[in-house]
Amino acid sequence: MDRSSAGISDKCARSDKAYNQPNDHAASSRHGRYRNATVKQWDNPPRATPWRNEFYRSSGTRSSQYLQYRSINSAQDFNALIKQEVIDGLVSKSNRFGHHYDGKSHSQYASSIKIYTSAAKRPLNQAEQGQLLRLLQNFTATRGWSWRSLSTTLHSLTSAGVFTIHKPMDGRIKLTQATLLSTLLDAIVFKCHQKPEARDIDAQGIANLLWAMAKLVSNGQEWTSGLKEALAALLPHVNAQKDQFIPQHIVNLLWAMAKLVDNGQERTPELKEAVAALFPPVNALKFHFNAQGIANLLWAMAKLVDNGKEQTPEFKETVVALLPHVNIQKAHFKPQEITNLLWAMAKLVDNGQERTPELKKAVSALLPQVNVQTANFKPQEIVNLLWAMAKLVDNGQERTPELEEAVAALLPYVNAQKANFKPQGITNLLWAIAKLVDNGQEQTPEFNEAVAVLFPFVNAKKDQFNAQGIANLLWAMAKLVDREHDKTGRI
């Protein structure tokens, strides 16, 4: 099976519900789409608790408060962001205070952009991004900026889609984007290398920055030397601050490191150490993770293992500590979280995780939720769910009534969504269907119909399959034909 095919797709990563992308801009809206993912923001604890699971909130310029608290008119609010006098004011303040300027007004402006996209429940579209970047040619971070200003600005601009790569993209816009990102990364590297008494690095900023870096590469940014250097400078601070991270920070950090590795980051000693430093806090704080956090943690751990992470005793202990909470939280999982969890458990088992009673119970708790939520799954989620169930069965999962019911509930949606599957999705679906049949799945009319509706799309998209996809497709078709021969006695 193509490894990339088994993961949560980039589409999943971009949906407004992006559950596997914690705290995306959609989070602030509480309700959104599925980006592959509509991210739902974690509910903040009561004010009395010290755990305020929030990203930095600026004290708020008048413009950011105005955007945040009134009923928004999208065109009017965006026009308020791109007034020349706003940028001129920022440049003037930076020039006036010089090296003593801490970047606070710039970070507040960046927060206003994020507030706009949060209210609109989407990132900047390409036209908006272009208009904004034409204005940001003199929006420059310096090494004198505070840690909070740097982390807030990079996180806010990334979350809003300012650094997303579009194709095609105007050369001048791309240059402005690259220059702005480069100045931010340079200042972050400088701050990370200062002596402890001269820097103001904190846990929340570390979590924000690593999340932003992971989102950057997910949104098409290249692994430039500046991005690599910033990541290398930041990773040792994860270990140094490990006792200061609250539950949401831990979730965001593990998600970010899994996403970075999945997008080509080498598993350096520093990255391995940062990942390992977070396992004890996960175990210690296991009762404080909500449904989204549990789904993101298990997805991240499965993705790390899928990309070569060794299942150390600490890793296994963390998985075991989280699994009972799948059952506890089962009624609270959203469609993508159900998808991510079943994918994660299938991938963990496929990479050597024992099918312990806790794991079996977690799978059993999720399968009825598939049936309840069938109408709410997006095309990529249908693919990932059927792949996960096929992989679990292939690794010894019993074909219980709950599993068979979940499979049966999804099959009609293969037909309903047939025009929306990408080539890799078609490959994974046919592989999953063939694997289920190979493990005793009855070829019901619904099953046969799901197979039949996919074949025309194989032909229509034949030029878009890669070598692994072609191999998986041929295996699946051969296995389906072979099973049909076994059933009919025909040769």
Share of the chain above pLDDT 70, in %: 82
Quote the pLDDT of residue 49: 34
Q: Which of helix, strand or coil describes residue 17?
A: strand
What's the mean pLDDT when you consider all of the chain?
Answer: 84
- Token output for 259: 């996403």
Quote the pLDDT of residue 200: 86
Averaged over 59-71, what is the pLDDT?
39
Q: What residues have CB less than 8 Å from 478, skipping those under 6 apart?
A: none
Averaged over 86-108, what is the pLDDT?
91
pLDDT at 185 over 90: yes
Averaged over 165-173, what is the pLDDT?
92
Quote the pLDDT of residue 37: 35
Residue type, 42: W
Quote the pLDDT of residue 444: 86
Quote the pLDDT of residue 232: 96
Averaged over 207-214, what is the pLDDT?
98
Averaged over 220-241, what is the pLDDT?
95
Confidence band of 484 (pLDDT split at 50, 70, 90)? low
Contact 140, 180 (CB under 8 A): yes
Distance between CA atoms of residues 254 and 279, nearest Å: 9
pLDDT at 62 over 60: no
pLDDT at 4 over 60: no
Averaged over 475-489, what is the pLDDT?
70
Averaged over 140-151, what is the pLDDT?
94
pLDDT at 173 over 50: yes
Distance between CA atoms of residues 13 and 36, nearest Å: 4
**Would the pTM count as exceeding 0.75?**
yes
What confidence tens digit (pLDDT) does each residue in 399-409 have? Answer: 899 999 999 99
What confidence tens digit (pLDDT) does each residue in 233-256 have? Answer: 999 999 999 999 999 999 999 999
More confident site: 32 or 380:
380
Q: What residues have CB less than 8 Å from 448, skipping those under 6 apart?
A: none
Averaged over 362-375, what is the pLDDT?
94
Contact 385, 346 (CB under 8 A): no
Distance between CA atoms of residues 279 and 115, nearest Å: 33
Residue-wise DSSP of 467-490: HHHHHHHHHHHHHHHHHHHHHH--
What confidence tens digit (pLDDT) does each residue in 420-464 have? Answer: 999 999 999 999 999 998 898 888 888 889 989 998 988 888 889
Averaged over 279-283, what is the pLDDT?
95
- Cα 461 to chain centroid distance, Å, stands at 27
Helical H segments across 395-490, by residue range = 401-416, 423-438, 445-460, 467-488
